[in-house]
Amino acid sequence: MGSETARAHQLIQQIIGNIEQVIVGKREAVELAIVAVISQGHLLIEDAPGVGKTMLARSLAKSINCTFKRIQFTPDMLPGDITGVTVYNQKTNEFEFRAGPIMAQVVLADEINRATPKVQSALLEPMEERQLTVDGITYPMPVPFHVLATQDPIEYEGLFPLPEAQLDRFLLRISLGYPSESDEIIIMERQQHAHPVQQITPVADASDIVWLQETVKNVYVDDLVKRYIISVVEATRHHRSIYLGASPRGSLALFRTSQARAIMQGRDYVLPDDIKALAEPVLAHRLILPATDHVQDRTGRIVIAEILEKVPVPGTIPAR
């Protein structure tokens, strides 16, 4: 392990440990949240209310000492409520831009699927191009810039499902799930007098995150592993149960996140195991399944698992 890799690994573990003071028993979800940040991507958490989605975002922002804004999405919101507006200042006789809550380093888009598609689309440009255009003027987003969105399960009433273009902007989609009995007892004990998110202190800052994002890019990915990534993504485009498979953006996402996971594990090279561990959270939400498969309770997660079983790992004999 090189000195830079060792330093990056240690810093990431410190951030994870800090977040786990608040988020109990969800190590994998916390790790994936960090993977999204250091891969310069955005995270979508789909789960029931009350399982800690908001606390994950708050503890992450506090741990890395970044500016944090929360946007509570509702059906009556307007795009300007997110982006900000240009107003006329009578004192200066000039128009000035008053930035909306999107202008923060860590943005929590809470219950994003409660807003209309027009409001949801206001996030497309900042998330993809890291800039915001209001009244013809373009403003750069803060650095680092990370959107962590939450959404209730699609079975709930009064929701507007995210369109495919919006889902594709999210690097990863995860769920937290309910805690175990022992973890829930720990949660109650920790919150008996005060919420632990109020007590944690930063263990990194924005410059550390930018350094991690640059360091991750130097992680070695062998040609065989690159071909494995392409084979997995290509399989989604020809699977009988998938109407529309993952695009090249999915391949790039799997490539970038595998580098981040490798350095999180203390390696400066990617293994096929990194690809297998990340395929479902990276690719499942990018797939479009026919309506008949939804009726049969067939999900993107199940299809990805089938693909991983069939696509040969480099150095192994293909499954028949």
Element (H, E) at 266: none
pLDDT at 319 over 60: no
C-alpha to C-alpha distance for 263 and 256, rounded to whole angstroms: 11
Within 8 A by CB and 6+ apart from 311, the residues are 228, 231, 232, 235
Residue type at 263 in one-letter notation: I
176 versus 231: the higher-pLDDT residue is 231
What secondary structure letter does DSSP report for 249?
H
Written as six digits, the tokens of 155 are 């079975």
C-alpha 12 chain-centroid distance: 16
Is the bond into 101 cis (omega within 30 degrees of 0)? Answer: no
169-197 tens-digit pLDDT:
899 999 888 888 888 888 888 888 888 88
Residue 108 pLDDT class (50, 70, 90 cuts):
very high
Asked if 3 and 11 count as a contact pair (C-beta separation under 8 A), the reply is: no
Of 235, 281, 291, 239, which Cα lies nearest the Cα of 256?
A: 281
- Enumerate the H helices of the chain as residue ranges: 3-19, 27-38, 53-63, 80-83, 117-120, 124-129, 164-167, 181-190, 206-216, 223-238, 248-264, 272-283, 291-295, 300-310
C-alpha to C-alpha distance for 210 and 143, rounded to whole angstroms: 8
C-alpha to C-alpha distance for 257 and 216, rounded to whole angstroms: 9
C-alpha 223 chain-centroid distance: 26
26-69 tens-digit pLDDT:
899 999 999 999 999 999 998 777 777 888 988 999 999 999 99
Within 8 A by CB and 6+ apart from 218, the residues are 4, 268
For the chain, list the domains and their CATH numbers.
1-217 (3.40.50.300), 219-315 (1.10.8.80)
Q: What is the mean pLDDT of residues 76-101?
A: 86
For 109-133, give one letter per residue: b (16+ CB within 10 A) or e: bbbbbbbeeebbebbebbbeeeebe
Asked if 72 and 109 count as a contact pair (C-beta separation under 8 A), the reply is: no
> Of all residues in the chain, what percent carry a pLDDT higher than 70?
94
Residue 106 pLDDT class (50, 70, 90 cuts):
very high
C-alpha to C-alpha distance for 310 and 80, rounded to whole angstroms: 47
Model pLDDT, residue 270: 94
**Least confident residue range of 77-81, 208-212, 244-248, 296-300:** 296-300
Model pLDDT, residue 317: 47
